[in-house]
Structure 1
Amino acid sequence: MSSEKTIPNTHPHSLEEEEEEEDDDPPMLSSQAIEALRELLTEQNRTIDTDTGATAVDDVALLTEDWRMSQFWYDRETAETVAREVHALCSSIQSPSVACLACPTLYVYLKKLHPDIPVQLLEYDKRFEKYGSEFTFYDYNEPEELPSKLKHACQIVIADPPYLSKECLDKVAQTISFLAHPEDFHLLLLTGEVQKDRAAELLGLRPCQFRPQHSSKLGNEFRLFTNYDPGMRLGGWEQEQ
């Protein structure tokens, strides 16, 4: 006996019509599948801005990392800690002007926590042009190719050189000198432990006890250096041995 199914001799279109009728029925999902889909969509809506591909941080957004540009965002604790430190510094300055040099994470958290603080983001990634007048294109290979209005205009600079190389830190140091206010200037440098001696030599910086961390775990140990004594904040300066 043949195992093939016998097809009735019907109107040539009857099978197609039957398939079309079946296709008209809406697909059915189990209650478990619907709940799982709802949770997934809720999580995506909470963390992803579907228009920009940006990770939402309340009313500001941090775009997804582009590793080709050596982008590694700081985790929430690190960004909030540094933002609080900048706010503490600003409280003692009559008209503070802050520059975030190649550190969009910190710009985003500053705008989230302290939207009243004027902050300029100097960044190579033009996706951050969405922040309008607070964005300035910056290429560390051209350390002083910046608007003249920024020259010696910043009392606080937070800098995160994109590469852990002597050449990169040297050029970023030139930019910092360009930005630094001649009378009242505070610098926070976030970079690798390997730059400790060079940071001290170039910019007179000392490491704090606080250790920055990234959302993506990196193999290199990072440190936070300052040109001022933070006192009890940031864990204080690390004691010299």
Structure 2
Amino acid sequence: MEQVSDRNAGTADDDDTPMLSSHALEALREFLSEQNSSLTADNDGATVAEEDKVVALVTEDWRLSQFWYDRETAETVAREVHALYTSMDSPPSVACIACPTLYVYLKKMHHNLPVQLLEYDNRFKQYGSEFTFYDYNQPLELPSSMKHAFRIIIADPPYLSKECLEKVSETIYFLKQPGESYLLLLTGAVQQDRAAELLGLRPCGFRPQHSSKLGNEFRLFTNYDPGLRLGGWEQDQ
């Protein structure tokens, strides 16, 4: 099974490949064309450069079930990563596992921030030395220089399955520095108990969203108390 970027709309157990009608495909093409246009209108009808409002992304490849975060989600998580980064005495290293949307927004908003993108989709090789090919089916097949090298790790497992989260967790433990490290996991709400068991994570109040509206509920989990940011940790019911 191939790994995909950012988000699979279903689970690893889905058997049927969804088919779209020609009408639906045309509507999706129009949506992408509008999303990727070089200019966009603001609320007053004036035109402003797209780069001032939306970061340019490669087109989602739906054959790989790719769904990018919407702008609010990407900017919110990018601000959180930057807040963690600037709160530390010595600059930490940052790793993004299978979340290229976040990587692109981080570099757009804070271009000097050192971030390593671990990603299956080779289109992201354009980011040069900050790209590392990553297949979650081989969670430890990574350069030895990355072992215990990152203090901030953000992960978005490509499938909503126990096996996938377990393997991505192996990667996280390989990457994270001993001692205090900061973990952020964006995944389906169905993974809450597994996220707690495998990584000691708790859900935040902030709800991640995607540009293509998906049926599954997604959550953001952390291993640290974000305080007033990210809607705070949710209290146990």
**TM-score of the aligned structures, taking structure 1 as reference length:** 0.76
1:137 corresponds to which of 119, 133, 137: 133
Matched with 1:181 is: 177
1:83 aligns with 2:78: yes
2:191 corresponds to which of 168, 192, 195: 195
Deviations 1:174-203 (A, max 9, x none): 000000111231000000000000000100
With a CA cutoff of 8 Å and minimum separation of 6, indicate the structure with the bigger relative contact order: 2
1:226 corresponds to which of 201, 211, 222: 222
CA RMSD in angstroms comes to 1.9
Shift of residue 67 of structure 1? 2.1
5+ residue gaps, structure 2, are 1-32, 41-49
Matched with 1:211 is: 207
Matched with 1:92 is: 87
Partner amino acid, structure 2, of 1:166: K
1:127 aligns with 2:123: yes
Q: Distance in 2 between matches of 1:60 and 1:219?
A: 24
Partner amino acid, structure 2, of 1:83: A
Matched with 2:38 is: 45
Q: Which has the larger radius of gyration?
A: 1
Deviations 1:98-155 (A, max 9, x none): 0010000000000011111100000000000000000000000000100111110000
Shift of residue 66 of structure 1? 1.2
Matched with 1:169 is: 165
- In percent, how many aligned pairs have the same letter? 76
5+ residue gaps, structure 1, are 1-39, 48-55
Shift of residue 61 of structure 1? 3.9
Partner amino acid, structure 2, of 1:64: T
The alpha-carbon distance between structure 1 residues 133 and 57, as it changes in their structure 2 partners (threshold 3 A), is farther
Shift of residue 57 of structure 1? 4.7
Matched with 2:154 is: 158
Does structure 2 conserve the Cα–Cα contact (< 8 Å) formed by 1:57 and 1:112?
A: no
Q: Distance in 2 between matches of 1:186 and 1:153?
A: 12
Q: Distance in 1 between matches of 2:107 and 2:129?
A: 14
Matched with 1:21 is: none
Partner amino acid, structure 2, of 1:68: R
Does structure 2 conserve the Cα–Cα contact (< 8 Å) formed by 1:78 and 1:212?
A: yes
Instruction: Give the match's secondary structure for 2:185.
Output: strand
Q: Distance in 2 between matches of 1:132 and 1:168?
A: 27
Shift of residue 45 of structure 1? 3.3
Shift of residue 60 of structure 1? 6.5
The alpha-carbon distance between structure 1 residues 179 and 214, as it changes in their structure 2 partners (threshold 3 A), is same
Q: Distance in 1 between matches of 2:223 and 2:93?
A: 17
